[in-house]
Structure 1
Amino acid sequence: MSDVHSKSVRSKNMKAIASHDTAPELIVRRLLYNNGYRYRVAPTYIEGKPDIWLKKRKTAIFINGCFWHAHECEKFRWPKTNTDFWKRKLLKNKERDERNIKVLLSQKVRVLIIWECAVSGKKKLTEHTLLMLITVWFQSVEQYAEITSDGLRVFDGRE
């Protein structure tokens, strides 16, 4: 199956995709701020450049797009064209994410990943539920967790 767009149009479309200040990021940032959580946005001095940094809690929050980080959910599908390129690129993104998380955990930084599917799409969580899950994790002693459209998943750091 060939692409429906020319290379120049496809290139223009791909360049227009934002890498920061995305809709899911803005939703999470507004939710945190409106509930008294103060943070830094995308500090470059923290390993992996988290989308949100909560210094008091020594916590890095990443808001990951399901496509760009190859999340296994209903929002992700492998592209049907240029499949070798996309497979290499997306798997490399996943490997980089895993390395960054390991480094942060070794530095005793807590890591929370909020997936795009939890914030947008058919199965998104309500803002109340999302805030509750974030708050529950903040109050726990767990170092690493993810929030998806299915809820909160805690990892022991060795996975």
Structure 2
Amino acid sequence: MAGIKGKNTKPEMIIRSALHRRGIRFRLHRKNLPGKPDLVFNGRNAVIFVHGCFWHGHNCHLFRWPKSRQDFWREKIRKNTERDRRQYLALADNGWRIGTVWECALKGKTRLSIEDIADQCAIWLKSDIKSLEVSGNEAGATV
């Protein structure tokens, strides 16, 4: 697991590039914010996390429980999802709007086009909607 990157992952780079091409500027991995969000949009008071479906326990076709060391992996992923929940609550309590782009939106049988994902993010960033979740073949915004 030491070789697993937490920053500058391929899915993150794809999202960053698409938003940058649209003229949307951002900061990266602000250490003073809970969870060190992947993208921070200060002027819009918004953050976007780009999550891997396995590491964050997303309920999609890309997530499968490992066959070996099942207790270890269940605890690991449970802790990751609990940490995510705490970080989202802390960000929301401080007035931040939170977006999540899941890996399944970018790859696999349910992937969306990068243009669709970037459009959804751009529209959300310009709105007052509190949260955004983009996953394979679907996106949902909630107030």
Tell me the TM-score normalised to structure 2 length: 0.95
Q: Is the 8 A contact 1:38 1:54 kept in 2?
A: yes
Q: 1 or 2 for the larger relative contact order (CA 8 Å, sep ≥6)?
A: 2
Within 5 A, what are the aligned runs for 1:99-110? Answer: 99-110=86-97
Q: Which 4+ residue blocks in structure 1 deviate beyond 4 angstroms?
A: none
Gaps of 5+ in 2: none
Q: Is the 8 A contact 1:31 1:127 kept in 2?
A: yes
Three-state SS of the structure 2 residue aligned to 1:17 is coil
- Shift in Å at residue 52 of structure 1? 0.7
- Shift in Å at residue 139 of structure 1? 2.9
Looking at structure 1, the residues matched to 70 and 59 of structure 2 have their Cα atoms a distance apart, in angstroms, of 17
Looking at structure 1, the residues matched to 54 and 31 of structure 2 have their Cα atoms a distance apart, in angstroms, of 23
Whether 1:54 aligns to 2:41 is: yes
Q: Which residue identity lines up with residue 34 of structure 2 in the other structure?
A: E
Whether 1:148 aligns to 2:135 is: yes
Gaps of 5+ in 1: 1-13
- Shift in Å at residue 143 of structure 1? 0.8
1:115 matched residue in structure 2:
102
Three-state SS of the structure 2 residue aligned to 1:56 is helix
Q: Which moved more, 1:142-151 or 1:108-117?
A: 142-151
Whether 1:63 aligns to 2:50 is: yes
User: Alpha-carbon deviations, 1:112-144, whole Å to 9, x = none?
Assistant: 000011112222111221122112222332111
1:130 matched residue in structure 2:
117
1:11 matched residue in structure 2:
none
Looking at structure 1, the residues matched to 115 and 15 of structure 2 have their Cα atoms a distance apart, in angstroms, of 11
Q: CA RMSD in A?
A: 1.1
The structure with the largest alpha-carbon Rg is 1
Tell me the TM-score normalised to structure 1 length: 0.85
Three-state SS of the structure 1 residue aligned to 2:95 is coil
The percentage of counterpart residues that share the same residue type is 36
- Shift in Å at residue 15 of structure 1? 2.1
User: Alpha-carbon deviations, 1:87-112, whole Å to 9, x = none?
Assistant: 01101100110111011111110100
